[in-house]
A and B are shown apart, each in its own frame.
Chain A
Amino acid sequence: MNDVLDVALRLIAVFAVFLVLPLVVGQAEHKVMAHMQGRLGPMHAGGFHGWAQLVADGVKFAQKEDVVPADADRRIFQLAPAVALLPYLLVLVAIPIGPGRGAVGQTVDAGVFFVLAVLGVGVLGSLMAGWASANKFSLLGGLRTAAQLLAYELPMLLAVASVAMAAGTVSIPGILHAFEWWWLPWQIVGALVFFVAGLAELQRPPFDMPVADSEIIFGAYTEYTGLRFALFLLAEYVGIVVLCALTTVLFLGGWHGPYGADGLGWVWTLLKVAVLAFVVIWLRVSYPRLREDQLQRLAWTVLIPLALAQIALTGIVKVAIN
């Protein structure tokens, strides 16, 4: 009975994180973008600096009519948001925020592979949405999504392989336990490659060609309304949280910090995630959208060679240490 309670508590905690952190990131995006552009952003909903703006947005989405286009493939169209969102929930289960057994939803032996595998499934949601909408813009969005995923999956994998080599394990808590401060300069190239490739997989600006609103309306999500559309948006923001958390635990040392207080490891993790999320928002405001050929060129001629060089470097240093 105790075990059941334990599992239930962990799942509830993960679900709470799944619901709260994306909203925090979304609200931060509203405000940070606004201030970077010399505006105030939402100020009314909820009173204090518009803190309830996203709650209001959610209520608005829930009230809207759920429309399925007449020519669409109904079941796949309706299933797609769930396929896009659920993998992120699963991934959150495996990310530790502190040392010790209490700070991770579930320790997975091959955690790194679990995380990457499940993240890859989420893109199927966008593809299903793009195809099933019976809309040219959606189909184009789906095509671009698939091309982008195929290009950026490889550098992401290679960067993670490098850090797994350095730690000698593919378990995420194992990697964190093996972490030393000098891994930061050692793995910095891999970290950059991972972060950039992750941004591209999330289709965040400047890699938002698949949803480029000035060309193809909103890509694969053009035909969606109401709650299903909100689920896709939620998936994007959970994706930001997951990407930042993964970069933190794989490359930035997760709960390790200069003032390594034992009980406060989770504060370090959350702090690093928050800083990375800020960078994600900052990039959105700062850079114009990359064209499709620029996207492909960046992946195949810059990120993959860099990731391979990082693996070589990791191997050399690893052999030299031993």
Chain B
Amino acid sequence: MSVAATAASATAAAGPGFLSPSGVEIAFLLVGLVTFGAALVTVTTRQLVHAALWLVVTLGGLAVEYLLLTAEFIAWVQVLIYVGSVVVLLLFGLMLTKAPIGRSPDADSGNRPVASAVAVAAAAALVWVVVDAFRTTWIDLGGPAQGSTEVSGRFLFRNWVLPFEALSVLLLAALVGAIVLSRKNGAARADGNAAGGSGKEQR
């Protein structure tokens, strides 16, 4: 509905353009730049815990971008899952391995060229897909929110139920796999370590 409307208005030359950006668009760009910068620092900093904390900034910036795109529900879920759980898990792991304060010179695995090649390829593929999918679609900020919980839920459970369920099966498989893996390790050294049950319970 709104896609057609915005396309029509764009052809009428009165629609949004690149030369007269609105406040939201400027904010979107600035937050995007900050997010991008934080992401770069995340992968280039030599201090492990700082990398995890810059990751918080990156993920938080992404959440703000979702908010600016009116996808409120996605934004909060992003913060809840990634900042609230994934980064906490990361920090937990870093603390367990006693990440030192200051630089960790031994943290470089020497895979830099391969990693950057994979990253550039992945980024190119994603950018290409997204640009190709949306092209000049503009979100009508004046109308009803198009990313509210109700709209997202309706889309997810009416149009995209099958992928959603497939994903949940995938996650379930991963969960079971994690349990199986930790069980095996526990059985192998069960004699020496009777308290082997505590590790597998961390999700």
Residues of A within 8 A of B (CB): 71-73, 76, 108-110, 113-114, 116-121, 123-124, 127-128, 130-132, 134, 139, 142-143, 146-147, 149-151, 153-154, 157, 169-171, 293, 296, 300
Q: Beta-carbon contacts of B8-20 to A below 8 Å, as 1s and 0s?
A: 0000000000000
The smallest C-beta distance from A169 to any residue of chain B, in angstroms, reads: 8
Among candidates A127, A153, A170, residue contacting B85 with C-beta atoms closer than 8 Å:
A153
Complex contact A143–B80 (CB within 8 A): no
Q: How far is the CA of A169 from the CA of B148 in the complex (A)?
A: 11
B contact residues around A110 at 8 Å (CB) = 72-73, 76, 148-149
Complex contact A131–B73 (CB within 8 A): no
A contact residues around B202 at 8 Å (CB) = 147, 150
B contact residues around A143 at 8 Å (CB) = 92, 95-96
Q: How far is the CA of A127 from the CA of B102 in the complex (A)?
A: 17
CB-CB under 8 A for A120 and B101, given A76-B53, A142-B95, A146-B95: no
B contact residues around A169 at 8 Å (CB) = 149
B51: CB under 8 A from chain A?
A: no
Among candidates A71, A108, A146, A154, residue contacting B91 with C-beta atoms closer than 8 Å:
A146
B contact residues around A117 at 8 Å (CB) = 76-77, 79-80, 83-84
What are 16 pairs between A and B in contact, CB < 8 Å? A73-B102, A76-B53, A110-B149, A113-B76, A116-B80, A119-B84, A121-B79, A124-B88, A131-B99, A142-B91, A143-B92, A146-B88, A146-B89, A146-B95, A150-B203, A171-B149
A contact residues around B145 at 8 Å (CB) = 109
**How many B residues are at the interface, by size bracket?**
20 to 34
B contact residues around A154 at 8 Å (CB) = 203
B191: CB under 8 A from chain A?
A: no
Among candidates B49, B80, B203, residue contacting A131 with C-beta atoms closer than 8 Å:
B49
Among candidates A119, A121, A150, A170, residue contacting B149 with C-beta atoms closer than 8 Å:
A170
B contact residues around A134 at 8 Å (CB) = 101
B193: CB under 8 A from chain A?
A: no
Closest A-B pairs by Cβ, 7 of them: A120-B84, A113-B76, A117-B79, A117-B80, A146-B92, A117-B76, A110-B73
B contact residues around A157 at 8 Å (CB) = 80
Q: How far is the CA of A262 from the CA of B203 in the complex (A)?
A: 46
The smallest C-beta distance from A293 to any residue of chain B, in angstroms, reads: 7
Among candidates A114, A116, A131, A150, residue contacting B95 with C-beta atoms closer than 8 Å:
A131
Name A134's closest neighbour in chain B (CB-CB): B101
Q: How far is the CA of A108 from the CA of B75 in the complex (A)?
A: 12
Name B202's closest neighbour in chain A (CB-CB): A150
B contact residues around A116 at 8 Å (CB) = 76, 80, 84
B34: CB under 8 A from chain A?
A: no
B contact residues around A108 at 8 Å (CB) = 72
Complex contact B88–A123 (CB within 8 A): yes
Complex contact A293–B83 (CB within 8 A): no
Name A292's closest neighbour in chain B (CB-CB): B198
B contact residues around A149 at 8 Å (CB) = 88
Q: How far is the CA of A150 from the CA of B88 in the complex (A)?
A: 8
B31: CB under 8 A from chain A?
A: no
Complex contact A124–B56 (CB within 8 A): yes
Name B73's closest neighbour in chain A (CB-CB): A110
Q: Beta-carbon contacts of B39-71 to A below 8 Å, as 1s and 0s?
A: 000000000011001001000000000000000
Among candidates B77, B80, B87, B149, residue contacting A124 with C-beta atoms closer than 8 Å:
B87
Q: How far is the CA of A7 from the CA of B25 in the complex (A)?
A: 23
- In B87-115, the 8 Å CB interface with A consists of 87-89, 91-92, 94-96, 98-99, 101-102
A contact residues around B195 at 8 Å (CB) = 293
B132: CB under 8 A from chain A?
A: no
CB-CB under 8 A for A120 and B85, given A71-B101, A134-B101: yes
Q: How far is the CA of A167 from the CA of B27 in the complex (A)?
A: 35
Q: How far is the CA of A108 from the CA of B73 in the complex (A)?
A: 10
A contact residues around B79 at 8 Å (CB) = 117-118, 120-121
The smallest C-beta distance from B198 to any residue of chain A, in angstroms, reads: 7
Complex contact B148–A109 (CB within 8 A): yes
Q: A124-B53, A146-B91 are in contact. List 8 more A-B contacts (CB 8 A).
A: A109-B72, A113-B76, A117-B79, A121-B83, A127-B92, A131-B101, A154-B203, A157-B80
- In B163-197, the 8 Å CB interface with A consists of 195
Q: How far is the CA of A150 from the CA of B92 in the complex (A)?
A: 10
Complex contact B80–A120 (CB within 8 A): yes
